[in-house]
């Protein structure tokens, strides 16, 4: 009987059967600040490697500090949030220049976030990330496409972390939302 169980377990192990883990690829981070609380949102594409399916979710957490709010987001899933695919940080209108500096420091020090991540300003970052994507699986990827389209029109927007990190008061492009999606208000 033991031999049969061992053979069955070996067969399952060797053929790769069983549950494959989901991967949570963070495509955008949103940061708002209101009433002495940070609200951090991570938009993630959940990739199930077994069925090649994708779904999008937005996880949100609050805290008195940026790190505490991020920790609250991370508590919402048992899967790691993979930041290497993150291309956009949206900051809400309540983010001061000083708080923006702290957000940029976090992004620079986080080993999985690239220095080419783009920053933008919006009225409410959490609401922006909760809107329905227009042309891809995520709002973050759509926003990266908007920036790429501007570059193709010779309007390269200087909003990557490595371009703005040393500036005391960087000017960020502003994204607005409406019933049909999102657009540049100014850049």
pLDDT in tens, 95-111: 999 999 999 999 999 99
In this prediction, residue 16 carries a pLDDT of 47
Instruction: Give residue 1's pLDDT band: very low, low, confident or very high (50, 70, 90).
Output: very low
The answer to whether residue 9 is domain-embedded is no
In this prediction, residue 183 carries a pLDDT of 84
In this prediction, residue 187 carries a pLDDT of 58
pLDDT in tens, 30-56: 999 999 999 999 999 998 756 556 789
The answer to whether residue 2 is domain-embedded is no
- In which element (H, E) is residue 62 found? strand 53-63
Q: What is the arithmetic mean of pLDDT over 11-30?
A: 69
In this prediction, residue 55 carries a pLDDT of 87
The answer to whether residue 8 is domain-embedded is no
DSSP code string of 8-33: HHHHHHHHT-SPPPEEEEEEEEEEEE
The answer to whether residue 105 is domain-embedded is yes
The domain total for the chain is 1
In this prediction, residue 56 carries a pLDDT of 92
Residue 7, pLDDT above cutoff 50: no
CA distances from 167 to 95, 101, 161, 186, 187 (A): 16, 9, 10, 19, 16
In this prediction, residue 179 carries a pLDDT of 82
Q: State which residues form the domain around 135.
A: 20-186
The answer to whether residue 42 is domain-embedded is yes
pLDDT in tens, 114-173: 999 999 999 999 999 999 999 899 999 999 998 888 877 767 788 999 999 998 889 999
Residues 158, 173: contact at Cβ < 8 Å?
A: no
Instruction: Give residue 13's pLDDT band: very low, low, confident or very high (50, 70, 90).
Output: very low
| Bigger pLDDT: 115 vs 16 | 115
The answer to whether residue 5 is domain-embedded is no
pLDDT in tens, 88-99: 999 999 999 999
* Residues 6 or more apart whose Cβ sits within 8 Å of residue 93: 121, 122, 123, 124
Residues 62, 94: contact at Cβ < 8 Å?
A: no
- In which element (H, E) is residue 44 found? strand 37-48
In this prediction, residue 10 carries a pLDDT of 43
The answer to whether residue 12 is domain-embedded is no
CA 31/CA 115 separation, integer angstroms: 18
The answer to whether residue 143 is domain-embedded is yes
CA 79/CA 151 separation, integer angstroms: 35
Instruction: List for the chain the helix, strand, coil content (%; round to 5).
Output: 35, 30, 35
Q: Please state the pTM of the whole predicted model.
A: 0.85
């Amino acid at each position: 009987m033991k031999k049969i169980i061992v053979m069955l377990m070996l067969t399952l192990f060797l053929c790769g059967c069983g549950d494959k883990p989901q991967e949570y690829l963070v495509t955008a981070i949103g940061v708002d600040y209101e009433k002495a609380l940070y609200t951090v949102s991570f938009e993630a594409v959940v990739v199930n490697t077994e069925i090649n399916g994708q779904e999008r979710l937005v996880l949100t957490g609050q805290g008195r500090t940026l790190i505490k709010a991020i920790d609250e987001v991370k508590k919402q899933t048992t899967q790691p949030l993979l930041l290497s695919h993150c291309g956009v940080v949206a900051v809400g209108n309540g983010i001061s220049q000083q708080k923006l500096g702290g957000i940029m420091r976090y992004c620079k020090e986080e080993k999985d976030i690239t220095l080419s991540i783009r920053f933008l300003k919006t009225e409410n970052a959490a609401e922006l990330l909760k809107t329905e994507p227009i042309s891809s699986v995520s709002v973050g990827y759509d926003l990266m496409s908007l920036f790429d389209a501007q570059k193709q029109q010779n309007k390269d927007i200087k909003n990557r972390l490595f371009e703005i990190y040393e500036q005391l008061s960087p000017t960020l492009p502003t994204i607005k939302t409406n019933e049909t999606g999102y657009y540049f208000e100014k850049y």
